[in-house]
Structure 1
Amino acid sequence: MNEFLDDIDSVNRVIAYELTEGAIWSELYRQLNYYFNTINEFGITKNIFYFATRYQDEKIDPKKIASSMSHWDVDERQVRDVLLSLSRADLIEEKVAGTEFYNIKDPILREFTDTWARVDVENSTWEEAATELREKYRRLSGKYADFKGYATELMIKFLMMQFSRHTIDGESFFNRKGNVLLPKFVWVDSRAVKLPDTREYQIDIVAKEVPNLWLVEVKNTQQPIGLEQVKHFESACKVAEEVIRGEIITRWYISTCGFTQESERYLAENGFIYSNREQVNQLLRYFGLRELPV
């Protein structure tokens, strides 16, 4: 679905589509099932996650969840163990050293888990879920910017999962002379990184296939990216390289609004690859994927 997001009705349609049958749904649903299969402790992970997503901003109550699952013969300790595993997979939030848990705050992820619960657990139809979302977004127009930024980052993650040791022209896609190898990444995810003597940095996308490590910044802004923002990403990369480690490091800066001349010069002189909206869209088309939301 490619359409201009020039009014709230078009935003409603795109969000409803992406969260019920589009690329966002496909990728998040794949990840969710992967986690359920990987951390399916006691065979009840999916069910506990469902009950956890019913909480809004209040603390999740493991005792109450255990009571709701009495016919599964689940006790409070087992629920806590599963909640801890879910928090380590970033599916819920953990506080106070694993003693308190909360639903995720990200608005798009919340919408996804609500849709997942309706379709996968409560057996609603896709059409019912999409219709309900469209109606909801008629009343909540403030998610426009949130959606565009989140959708862009998620689509880049999905794109990188399609890499399979292709070699493509660096100048066309990454502003680098010669060819660029696209590794077949073992994992692609977001990551917070910190050293004992540094602040914490959030890396939008970290992707690894030994010996390759890619660190990616994704910006969906109204203005071209300036030198200060590039240097902030550079500092984050230095910390990430110490924490995660890789023999061949690639730092990729993506800006849908492009770059200032000063920041482009710095990126080129300091070994970054970088792409604007059109270059990312070319890469998406190369892999047969839809373009970024406009």
Structure 2
Amino acid sequence: MDYLELGGWFRKVKDPILLEFLKVWGRIEVEGKNEGEVRDELQQQYQSLKKKMSDLKGYLAEVYMAQILFNAQRQTLPGHYFHVANEFEVPRFNFIRLRERLGPGAGSEIDLHGGAGIEQWVAESKWRRGHKVGIGDLEELLDKAEVVKRERKAELMRVWFFSYEGFTKEALEFMPKHGMFWSTKEDLDGLLDYVKLRRLPKL
């Protein structure tokens, strides 16, 4: 509550940071809880919330990527949005799935899988503030692409990686050697403009 001297009355506080402080202060000073434990619990809550927000942002980018492929079916896209030399035609997809599981184990989920007969697409989205994608992330996606290629008997595999924060120097050298498509935020915004969709939000 916020005390107003003029009139001597209280009103509800709308400041979320002040409210959080008062909750923590109350647990320590009023309830007599251990200060270190209260701080640790609060840190856990905020770290968990931060991870959830990162996951939601990543999922949002996956939705945009799927919509780009859906809108671009049977169209020719410029290669520069994917950092490849030539333009290419997007097939007519029989399905475009998000968060598809390849198996029961951890790390077996594909962010995006598009099936078009002998041509298959797999894509990954990373939206992590201050963290560029490295070779480890790329290798994981290539391993998943191999599983899809084997199971679907694909003759052409398109492997596409989007990273909001970009890629490490080693990753940038790695991707062309393995025929991977890759896009940054600027590339994805350009693609969204090209297929007449709304740009990524500023989060």
Q: What TM-score do the two structures reach when normalised by structure 1?
A: 0.48
Partner of 1:5: none
Partner of 1:220: 127
Correspondence 1:261-272 to 2 at 5 A: 261-272=169-180
Partner of 1:211: 118
Equivalent-residue separation in structure 2 for 1:161 and 1:259 (angstroms): 26
Equivalent-residue separation in structure 2 for 1:169 and 1:149 (angstroms): 24
Correspondence 1:49-60 to 2 at 5 A: none
Higher helix share: 1
Tell me by how many angstroms 1:210 deviates: 2.1
Q: What TM-score do the two structures reach when normalised by structure 2?
A: 0.68
- Quick check: 1:169 aligned with 2:90? no
Summarize deviations over 1:85-112 as a string: whole Å, max 9, x none.
xxxxxxxxxxxxxxxxxxxxxxxxxxxx
Tell me by how many angstroms 1:275 deviates: 0.7
Equivalent-residue separation in structure 2 for 1:211 and 1:240 (angstroms): 11
Extract unaligned runs of 5+ from structure 1. Answer: 1-7, 9-140
How many residue pairs get aligned? The number is 152
Equivalent-residue separation in structure 1 for 2:85 and 2:171 (angstroms): 18
- Whether the 8 Å contact between 1:175 and 1:273 is mirrored in structure 2 is yes
Extract unaligned runs of 5+ from structure 2. Answer: 1-15, 17-48
**Which one of 71, 87, 90 corresponds to residue 179 of structure 1?**
87
Tell me by how many angstroms 1:146 deviates: 3.9
Partner of 1:151: 60
- Whether the 8 Å contact between 1:193 and 1:243 is mirrored in structure 2 is no
Tell me by how many angstroms 1:149 deviates: 2.1
Summarize deviations over 1:214-239 as a string: whole Å, max 9, x none.
11111111211011111111112112
Tell me by how many angstroms 1:199 deviates: 6.8
Backbone CA RMSD of aligned residues:
2.2
Specify the SS of the correspondent of 1:291.
coil
Equivalent-residue separation in structure 1 for 2:61 and 2:73 (angstroms): 21
- Matched to 1:154, the amino acid is V
Summarize deviations over 1:165-216 as a string: whole Å, max 9, x none.
211221x211000112211212100321149xx8761111010112211111
* C-alpha spacing 1:278/1:258, structure 2 compared with 1 (3 Å): same
- Whether the 8 Å contact between 2:125 and 2:161 is mirrored in structure 1 is yes
- Whether the 8 Å contact between 1:151 and 1:293 is mirrored in structure 2 is no
